[in-house]
């Protein structure tokens, strides 16, 4: 099953709105075929592995990281292919939480006389798809916050200069994140100040969907986000009160407009934004800033992971802090996190954290 998990990871960042899945066909203790789900609408991992195995699958074991589906979607049920292949046993990692699947695939196989062993490395398989599990059960994406800061927690100098806070290894890790997550999100302040591209520039990497939180549709139609060759779309999230002529200009420049509810101060409601993002089939979002938008996600506890890249630099008290939210009145009410990873990236330090539930 560990090998099947490695195979599943090959689809990371490319399968939305579907999960990542890996499968192996094993005969006589030897792997004779493997496969993973490459993209939505493409064949599922089990089908890929079984087609590679061909007649050798008869009497063999099939290892799959997620319960096989038993319903018609973009592709036929995987259980049909499994039964037709003649495998004698199916070893399953995770039980699929999708109500369309949950337990039905296993029942179908057992009903046809196939031995099914579920829950093998179940925790590891669940963890591999925890982002998708949240998406499919709560209808909102997995949210990753990212900031590159100095040792004193500053994003930029008082003049707004932020290039570059961290070194090349840390920046390469950010491009890996963009490649592995479905979308990258910034606030309009960052879009206007930096005019970023928000692409993934490593070899073989794919660009994420780009999202700008822009309540009043202030983004220029000439922004680089809208003037580059990329297969990924640019979404501009506006409020219902955004000026129509500005919204129209952005649409004419190729932007996809996402109209969201807002509060009394004209700020987009994050929960509504996240639901609408999930409604477009985006299972994961990387929030890159700036300070105000990061603070909003922190304040509303609408996040799942935090990547803080610390550079060995100090900017001082009048520089821009990364967490743009009010300070609590006491230490006992501070936002607490659980450290999940510490890593050296050249001179820089990565701290990866999760909310302390």
Catalytic machinery residues: 46
Give the strand order in the sheet containing 89-94.
30-36, 22-27, 61-66, 89-94, 115-117
CA–CA gap between residue 47 and residue 83 (Å, rounded)? 11
Instruction: Identify the helix (H) or strand (E) that includes residue 193.
Output: helix 188-194
Integer angstrom CA distances of residue 337 from 139, 224, 354, 356: 24, 35, 6, 5
CA–CA gap between residue 308 and residue 87 (Å, rounded)? 47
Dihedral over Cα of 142, 168, 236, 322: its sign? positive
Strand-pair partners of 18: none
CA–CA gap between residue 241 and residue 164 (Å, rounded)? 36
Strand-pair partners of 31: 26
Q: Which two tokens stand for residue 59?
A: 């009497």
Strands 30-36 and 22-27: antiparallel
Strand-pair partners of 308: 147, 351
Helices (H), 209-356: 244-252, 270-279, 291-299
Tokens 């038993």 sit on residue: 70
Count how many residues are written for the chain.
357
């Amino acid at each position: 099953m560990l090998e099947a998990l490695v195979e599943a990871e090959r689809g990371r960042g490319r399968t939305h709105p579907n999960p990542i899945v890996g499968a192996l066909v094993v005969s006589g203790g030897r792997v004779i075929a493997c496969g993973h789900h490459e993209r939505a609408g493409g064949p599922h991992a089990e089908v890929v592995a079984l087609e590679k195995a061909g007649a050798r699958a008869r009497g063999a074991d099939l290892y799959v990281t997620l319960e096989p589906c038993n319903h018609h979607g973009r592709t036929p049920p995987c259980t049909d292919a499994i039964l037709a292949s003649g495998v004698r046993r199916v070893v399953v990692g995770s039980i699929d939480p999708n109500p369309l699947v949950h337990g039905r695939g296993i029942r179908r196989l057992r009903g046809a006389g196939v031995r099914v062993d579920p829950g093998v490395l179940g925790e590891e398989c669940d963890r591999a798809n925890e982002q998708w599990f949240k998406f499919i059960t709560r209808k909102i994406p997995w949210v990753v916050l990212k900031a590159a800061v100095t040792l004193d927690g500053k994003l930029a100098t008082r003049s707004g200069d932020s290039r570059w806070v961290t070194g090349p290894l840390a920046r390469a890790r950010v491009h890996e994140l963009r490649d592995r997550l479905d979308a990258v999100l910034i606030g309009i302040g960052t879009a206007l100040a930096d005019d970023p591209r928000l692409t993934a520039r490593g070899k073989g990497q794919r660009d994420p969907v780009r999202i700008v939180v822009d309540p009043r549709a202030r983004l220029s139609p000439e922004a680089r986000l809208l003037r580059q060759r990329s297969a990924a779309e640019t979404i501009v999230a506006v409020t219902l009160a955004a000026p129509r002529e500005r919204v129209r200009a952005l649409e004419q420049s190729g932007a996809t407009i996402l109209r969201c509810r807002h509060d009394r101060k004209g700020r987009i409601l994050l929960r509504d934004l996240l639901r609408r993002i999930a409604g477009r089939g985006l299972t994961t979002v990387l929030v890159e800033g700036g300070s105000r938008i990061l603070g909003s996600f922190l304040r509303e506890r609408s996040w799942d992971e935090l990547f803080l890249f610390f550079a060995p630099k100090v900017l001082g008290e009048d520089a821009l802090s990364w967490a743009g939210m009010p300070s609590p009145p006491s230490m006992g009410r501070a936002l607490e996190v659980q450290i999940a990873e510490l890593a050296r990236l050249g001179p820089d330090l990565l701290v990866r954290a999760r909310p302390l539930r």
